[in-house]
């Protein structure tokens, strides 16, 4: 099965291996006639070039590795699409590797990429610490996406701005009790929180952070406790859409209406957020575009391995949908009312 080698084809076609190699790669140096003949023989013998051997022999591998943190997160799929668009354009093969929700697989997945001798790896949604990433980057040129790490090519959306956009919007809508549903406190991924804090402080409002994990279920559970408290927030900014959907779950479970009883903002503008039922207000970080820029950086890294690390930041956009609404002050002396007096 796929046992025939270049040698076989060469012999059968009465030429040397070198010619077969050139013929299959559409390189100059072969007359059109012999190329035809070689390919014909190849088909006849069901020859299939061995990429493994090719990559080992070739000095100029030119391969890009891609690490995807989670196949269930649509944002990453968007980013991947962007990466692939430019990889296709350049005719560069992609080698994929997939992580796992908590980030426990980051290390081994990147290790696999390194051992596969990709020239550079695009890491989408990496969770390992900055220090660990820098360590990896010593042996494997990295381009991190949705994140910024000093000394490493970084493609990201301005998370501080995201935090500001979301929080300011809620405040403008009249909300005062605004909670931030936070991701686990790993390195990186602090911008949204910082933006939230900055705006809350400037507005003289008390921040309220709800720690959670990397899953919709955890988000529903953790925000649930807060929803059951007396001082229930009227606005919630979740660190990403998955978490925001968890908030919607928690609201639904309590008979509360998103966009009516509580306003919710997510982050990423993922496919799920666009759902007619969800209609989640969210912050778009333009995943496809991030992917394209990451691939461009990867290419430039291949072309110039020793160049300085580059940053490629961009601005997020607020997408207003139906889970946010103006805060309407309750009629009686409820906790909400007293808050507004303060």
Residue 76 interacting with a copy of itself (CB under 8 A): yes
Give the CA angle between residues 185, 187, 188 to the nearest 5°. Answer: 105
Partnered with residue 284 across adjacent β-strands are 317
Binder to a copy of itself among 276, 304, 308, 332 (CB under 8 A)?
A: 276
Nearer to a copy of itself, 22 or 200 (CB): 22
Encoding tokens for residue 122? 């695009």
Longest dimension (CA), the chain: 95
Sites for a copy of itself among residues 322-341 (CB under 8 A): none
DSSP code at position 96 = E
Encoding tokens for residue 221? 């559970």
Q: Shortest approach of a copy of itself to residue 147 CB, angstroms?
A: 20
Binder to a copy of itself among 33, 52, 230, 331 (CB under 8 A)?
A: 52
Specify the stretch interacting with DNA by CB under 7 A; choose among 16-24, 181-189, 320-328, 332-340: 16-24
Alpha helices, DSSP H, located in the chain: 6-13, 17-24, 32-44, 51-57, 74-90, 106-115, 130-137, 159-172, 191-202, 216-227, 241-253, 287-303, 335-341
Binder to a copy of itself among 1, 33, 230, 331 (CB under 8 A)?
A: 1
Q: d(Cα 104, Cα 270) in Å, to the nearest integer?
A: 23
Q: Which does 335 bind (CB under 5 to 8 A by kind): a copy of itself, DNA, none?
A: none
Residue 104 interacting with a copy of itself (CB under 8 A): no
58-62 long-range contacts (CB < 8 A, ≥24 apart) are 61/117, 61/118, 61/119, 62/92, 62/93, 62/119, 62/302
Binder to a copy of itself among 96, 203, 328, 337 (CB under 8 A)?
A: 96
Q: d(Cα 286, Cα 313) in Å, to the nearest integer?
A: 11
Residue 215 interacting with a copy of itself (CB under 8 A): no
Residue 114 interacting with a copy of itself (CB under 8 A): yes
Residue 98 interacting with a copy of itself (CB under 8 A): yes
Q: Shortest approach of a copy of itself to residue 281 CB, angstroms?
A: 13
Phi, psi of 85, rounded to the nearest 5 degrees: -55, -50
Residue 271 interacting with a copy of itself (CB under 8 A): yes
Nearer to DNA, 52 or 331 (CB): 52
Binder to a copy of itself among 11, 55, 190, 221 (CB under 8 A)?
A: 55
Sites for a copy of itself among residues 125-144 (CB under 8 A): 138-141
Whether the CB-CB separation of 302 and 146 falls below 8 Å is answered with: no
Residue 255 interacting with a copy of itself (CB under 8 A): no
Sites for DNA among residues 45-74 (CB under 7 A): 47-50, 53-54, 56-60
Whether the CB-CB separation of 245 and 280 falls below 8 Å is answered with: yes
Residue 190 interacting with a copy of itself (CB under 8 A): no
Whether the CB-CB separation of 16 and 10 falls below 8 Å is answered with: yes
Q: Which does 112 bind (CB under 5 to 8 A by kind): DNA, a copy of itself, none?
A: a copy of itself
Binder to DNA among 19, 227, 244, 248 (CB under 7 A)?
A: 19
CA atoms within 13 A on the CB side of 88: 8
Residue whose structure tokens are 């966009």: 259
DSSP code at position 258 = B
Q: Which residues bind a copy of itself (CB under 8 A)?
A: 1-2, 46, 48-53, 55-56, 68, 71-72, 74, 76-77, 80-81, 84, 93, 95-98, 111-112, 114-117, 138-141, 245, 248-249, 251-252, 271-272, 275-279, 305
Q: Which residues bind DNA (CB under 7 A)?
A: 3, 5-7, 14-19, 21-22, 24-25, 28-31, 33-34, 47-50, 53-54, 56-60
């Amino acid at each position: 099965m796929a046992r025939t080698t270049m040698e076989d084809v060469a012999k059968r076609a009465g030429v040397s291996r070198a010619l077969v190699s050139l013929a299959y790669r559409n390189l100059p140096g072969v007359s059109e006639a012999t190329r035809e003949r070689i390919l014909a023989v190849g088909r006849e013998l069901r020859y299939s070039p061995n990429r493994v051997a090719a990559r080992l022999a070739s000095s100029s591998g030119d391969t890009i590795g891609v690490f995807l943190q989670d196949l269930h997160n649509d944002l990453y799929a968007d980013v991947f699409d962007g990466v692939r668009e430019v990889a296709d354009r350049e005719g560069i093969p992609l080698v994929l590797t997939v992580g796992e929700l908590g980030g426990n697989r980051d290390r081994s997945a990147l290790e696999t990429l390194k051992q596969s001798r990709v020239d550079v790896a695009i890491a989408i949604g990496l969770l390992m610490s900055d220090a660990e990433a820098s360590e990896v980057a010593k042996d494997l040129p990295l381009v991190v996406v949705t994140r910024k790490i000093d000394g490493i090519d970084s493609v990201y959306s301005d998370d501080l701005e995201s935090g500001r956009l979301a929080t300011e919007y809620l405040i403008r809508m009249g909300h005062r009790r605004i909670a931030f549903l936070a991701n686990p406190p790993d390195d990186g991924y602090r911008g949204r929180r910082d933006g939230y804090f900055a705006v809350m402080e400037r507005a003289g409002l008390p921040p309220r952070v709800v720690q959670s994990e990397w899953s919709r279920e955890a988000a529903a559970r953790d925000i649930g406790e807060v929803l059951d408290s007396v001082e229930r927030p009227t606005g919630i900014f979740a660190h990403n859409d998955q978490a925001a959907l968890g908030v919607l779950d928690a609201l639904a479970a309590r008979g509360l209406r998103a966009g009516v009883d509580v306003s919710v903002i997510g982050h990423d503008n993922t496919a799920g957020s666009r759902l007619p039922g969800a209609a989640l207000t969210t912050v778009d970080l333009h995943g496809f575009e991030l992917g394209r820029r990451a691939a461009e950086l990867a290419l430039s890294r291949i072309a110039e391995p020793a160049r300085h690390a580059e940053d490629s930041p961009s601005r997020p956009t607020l997408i207003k949908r139906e889970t946010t609404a103006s805060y309407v002050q309750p009629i009686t002396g409820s906790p909400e009312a007293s808050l507004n007096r303060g």
